[in-house]
Amino acid sequence: MTDTTITLDGGRTASAAPAARPQRRRFRFGAWMGLLPFLGFLFLFLLLPTYGVVTKAFSNESGGFTTSAISDVISNERKAFYGSMKVSFVTALLGVVLGTMLAYAAATATRPKWLRSLVSAFSGVAANMGGVVLAFLFITLLGRQGLGTKLVREGLGYDLYGTSWFDISSFWGWVTVYMYFQIPLMVLVTLPAIDGLKPAWREASSNLGGTTWTYWRRVGLPVLAPSMLGGFLLLFANAFSAYATVYALNTQANLMPVKISAGLRNDVGGRSPAPYALATCMIVVIAVAMGGYLLLRKRAERWRAT
C-alpha cells in the first residue's frame, strides 16, 4: 500500500515514505491498548495500595484529612527513623567501598578464567538473598553460641560478647549481616561500570606520562563516580527497606520497617494511622534515593557509550 506520487516534472518528486505516516497516526491510540493489561495490573496492585497508604496516613481516626498523623509519627518514632538512617548509611558506605574493591578484583582477574563468572553468579544469588535464612546463617556464625564467636574467643582471645558494642541482635550485628547482600548488590551494579573502563584509557594515560595514581585520579575514579554514587543510593534504599533479616535477628529492633509491620499487626481494625504515616515517610525516603540512583545511572551509561 505504497503511494508513489507520479508527477510530470520528470519524476523528480518521488514519495514513498510519507505513505507510512497516515497509517501510524490512525493506530496510535490502539497501539497503547496493548499496554493495558500491564498498566491495569500495576494500577490495581501497586498504585491502589500506595494510594491506600498515603490517604490513611493523612487521615485521622474518623476519616478526615489531617497532617497530624505524620507529625506525630515524626516525633514519636524519631529513634526508629534515625536507626534506619544509620543502618542504611553505614551499610551503604561499607557496601560501596568493599563492593567496588571486590568488583575490581573480579573484573581484572585473569587467572583462573572462571573467577569472574563465579563472583558474578554468586552475587546475583546473594544480592537477592535475605530474609530469615540469612539471619539464621549468621546466628550460627556470630551469635552468642556461634562458631565464629567461639573461634575468635579461643583463637584470638577476643570475646565479642564481652564487649559493649557487638551483638548479633543489635546495630553492628545487623550491619555485618546486611553486608552479605549489600556487597554482592554493589558488585552486580559496579561490574558493568568497571568493564566500561577501557584498557586503552589506562594505556593512553601511561603513554602520556601518567602513573597509576594519575590515571585513577584523573580518569578512572571520575568515570566510576556516578556508578559508585548511584550504587550508594541503591544500597541505601535497599537497606532502608529491608525487613525480614533484621526482624529475624531481633523482633524488637528499633527500625522503621519493624515498627510498621508491628503496628499493622497490632491494629487489626485498621483505625490507627500511625503505621501508614510511617510507611509514607519510608516511601518518600526511598523514592528520593531511587530517583537519584536512576539519574546517576543514566549519566554513567552515557560515558560508557564512547
Partner 1 sequence: MSNLAFNSIRKTFGPTVALQGLDLDVRDGELISLLGPSGCGKTTALRIAAGFEAADSGSVVVADENISNLPAHKRNMGMVFQSYSLFPNLDVASNVEYGLRTRKVDKTERRKRVADILELVELTDQAIKYPHQLSGGQQQRVALARALAIQPSVLLLDEPLSALDAKVRSSLRDEIRRIQTELGITTLFVTHDQEEALGISDRIGVMSQGSLEQLGTPAEIYGDPANAFVARFIGSMNEIPATVVDARAVRVLEVVVPTTRSHDFAAGERINLLVRPEDTSIVAEGDSGLSGTVVSQTFQGSSTDVGVRLAVLDVLISVHVVGSTEGVLRAGDQVTVAVDGARAVFEPAS
Partner 2 sequence: MSSRPLRSRLSRIGPNLVLLGALVFFTAPLVSTARQALQTVPMPLLNWNTLSDKWTLAGVRRIFDEENFWPTLRVSLELAAATVVITLALLVPTALFVHLRLPKARALVEFLTVLPYVVPPVALAAGVAAFYRANARWFFTSTYALVPFYVVMALPFTYRAIDAGIKAIDVRTLVDASRSLGAGWVTTLRRAVLPNMASSLISASFLTATVVLGEFTIAVTLAKQTFPTFAFEFFGRDFQGGVALALLTLVMTTVLLGILTILTRPKAVRAARKTDRLAKA
Which residues between 188 and 207 bind partner 1 (CB under 8 A)? Answer: 198, 200-201, 203-207
Q: Does 209 bind partner 1 (CB under 8 A)?
A: yes
Q: Determine which residue in the list 44, 74, 204, 221 makes contact with partner 2, applying CB under 8 A.
A: 44
Name the binder of 201 from partner 1, partner 2, none, CB < 5-8 A by kind: partner 1
Q: Does 208 bind partner 1 (CB under 8 A)?
A: yes
Listed residue (138, 128, 106) closest to 246, CA to CA: 138
Helix axes 274-304, 78-107, angle to 10 degrees: 20
Q: Which amino acid is at 109?
A: A
x/- mask, partner 2, residues 109-148, rule CB under 8 A, reads xx----x---x-xx--xx-xxxxxxx-xxxxxx---xxxx
How many residues of this chain bind partner 2 (CB under 8 A)? 82
Of residues 195-224, those binding partner 2 (CB under 8 A):
199, 202, 206, 212
Q: Determine which residue in the list 3, 32, 198, 271 makes contact with partner 2, applying CB under 8 A.
A: 32
Q: Does 286 bind partner 2 (CB under 8 A)?
A: yes
With contact defined as beta carbons under 8 Å apart, do 106 and 191 qualify? yes
CB of 16 to partner 2, least distance (A): 18
With contact defined as beta carbons under 8 Å apart, do 185 and 95 qualify? yes
Cα 265 from chain centroid (whole Å): 27
Name the binder of 244 from partner 2, partner 1, none, CB < 5-8 A by kind: partner 2
Of residues 153-172, those binding partner 1 (CB under 8 A):
none
Q: Does 252 bind partner 1 (CB under 8 A)?
A: no
Q: Does 45 bind partner 2 (CB under 8 A)?
A: yes
55 grid coordinates: 490517604
> End-to-end distance of the chain based on CA atoms, in angstroms?
40
C-alpha atoms less than 13 angstroms from C-alpha of 175 in its C-beta half-sphere: 17
Helix axes 274-304, 48-57, angle to 10 degrees: 130
CB of 211 to partner 1, least distance (A): 6
DSSP code for 19:
G
CB of 9 to partner 2, least distance (A): 35
C-alpha atoms less than 13 angstroms from C-alpha of 284 in its C-beta half-sphere: 11
Name the binder of 104 from partner 2, partner 1, none, CB < 5-8 A by kind: partner 2
What residues does 59 pair with on adjacent strands?
A: 65
Phi, psi of 138 (to 5 degrees): -75, -25
- Which chain residues interact with partner 1 by CB under 8 A? 198, 200-201, 203-211, 214, 218-219, 222-223, 302-306
